[in-house]
């Protein structure tokens, strides 16, 4: 197939539709992920819909709470949403991929001066929240009878104005709770951005969705690893290979100086500093750390 025919076919095919948050942290994280996947999205003038370049994709900018319904109804093929919103709105929709950004937790909090021993303190008390489904499920699982006050926005001020005894709200750093005289006492669920998919995809849309997911996974894999290069003496190669195994095994190349070798491999982000400390302790020299842009298994 000639390049011109392939080009025309690529851009004449149907476009995959994805919904992302109109504004906020999820919007920024979603657009960055798409950009890292080689997909550019222009949203000048706060348009509600934009066509992407670099992939046959149409992006709809929606309110968080509307995205699950759009996906379930098949108006869009995919959506990027906070897991907490998905649990609250459409828990029956499957998570296609966890995306690793916009991490937070849905937690219970009470005033700092409360002597909170366990969740039984909540029994018979008033709890303010914007997440009644998750809260009700939690209370039911604990056999608690609490009064849920549904409010939207500024949940953290509810105890101070006498509206509730406790709150159930999203927590990231905890600074908002602290500034409002509250303390976190129980985590109901942990949340992050997730990719969800409609169950009503035809073969062409399924193929496009799989290709987009492949790109996303290669980017997410790269974020979890660092590329490490180091020099070591020949008699240290065995221990270095144990410390730095890589995906299969490290690459080892002889240096110009006899008896010296260069070793190249990858390290998981979570293990990074422990591995580096072990390498240094066992004689590694000239250690270089290189970020990875994409990683395909």
Indicate whether 158 pLDDT > 90.
yes
Indicate whether 110 pLDDT > 50.
yes
Task: Decide: residue 30, CB within 10 A, 0-12 exposed, 13-18 middle, 19+ buried.
Answer: buried
pLDDT value of position 191: 94
Indicate whether 107 pLDDT > 50.
yes
What's the topology of domain 225-291? Answer: Alpha-Beta Plaits (3.30.70)
Q: Which percentage of the chain shows pLDDT scores above 90?
A: 76
φ, ψ of residue 244 to 5 degrees: the values are -125, 70
Extents of the domains making up the chain: 3-102+193-222, 104-191, 225-291
pLDDT band of residue 44 (cuts 50, 70, 90) is: low
Hey, do 3-102+193-222 and 104-191 end up sharing a CATH topology, with the first three levels equal?
yes
- Tens of pLDDT along 198-248? 998 999 999 999 999 999 999 999 988 999 999 999 999 999 999 987 777
Q: Domain 104-191 sits in which CATH superfamily?
A: Periplasmic binding protein-like II (3.40.190.10)
What's the topology of domain 3-102+193-222? Answer: D-Maltodextrin-Binding Protein; domain 2 (3.40.190)
Instruction: Classify residue 250 by its DSSP letter.
Output: -
- Minimal CA–CA distance to 99: which of 198, 230, 191? 191
Tokens of 275: 């591995």
pLDDT band of residue 14 (cuts 50, 70, 90) is: confident
């Amino acid at each position: 197939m000639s390049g011109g025919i392939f080009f025309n076919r690529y851009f004449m095919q149907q476009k995959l539709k994805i919904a992302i948050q109109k504004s906020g942290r999820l919007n920024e994280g979603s657009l960055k992920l798409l950009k890292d996947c080689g997909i550019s999205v222009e949203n000048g003038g706060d348009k509600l819909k934009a066509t992407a370049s670099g992939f046959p994709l149409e992006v709809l900018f929606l309110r968080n709470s509307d995205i699950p319904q759009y996906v379930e109804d098949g108006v869009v093929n995919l959506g990027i949403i906070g897991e907490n919103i998905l649990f609250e709105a459409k828990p029956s929709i499957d998570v296609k991929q966890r995306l690793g950004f916009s991490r937070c937790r849905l937690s219970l909090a009470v005033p700092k001066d409360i002597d909170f021993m366990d969740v039984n303190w909540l029994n018979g008390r008033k709890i303010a929240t914007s997440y009644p489904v998750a809260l009700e499920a939690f209370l039911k699982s604990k056999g608690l009878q609490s009064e849920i006050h549904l409010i939207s926005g500024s949940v953290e001020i509810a105890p101070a104005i006498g509206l509730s005894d406790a709150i159930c709200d999203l927590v990231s750093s905890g600074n908002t709770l602290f500034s409002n005289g509250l303390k976190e006492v129980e985590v109901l669920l942990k949340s992050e951005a997730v990719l969800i998919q409609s169950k009503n995809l035809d073969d062409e849309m399924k193929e496009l969705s799989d290709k987009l997911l492949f790109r996303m996974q290669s980017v997410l894999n790269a974020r979890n690893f660092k590329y490490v290069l180091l020099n070591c003496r020949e008699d240290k190669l065995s221990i270095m290979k144990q410390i730095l195994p890589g995906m299969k095994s490290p690459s080892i190349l002889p240096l110009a100086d006899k008896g010296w070798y260069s070793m190249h491999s990858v390290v998981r982000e979570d293990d990074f500093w422990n591995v580096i400390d072990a390498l240094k302790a066992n004689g590694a020299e000239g250690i270089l750390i290189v970020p990875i842009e994409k990683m395909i298994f």
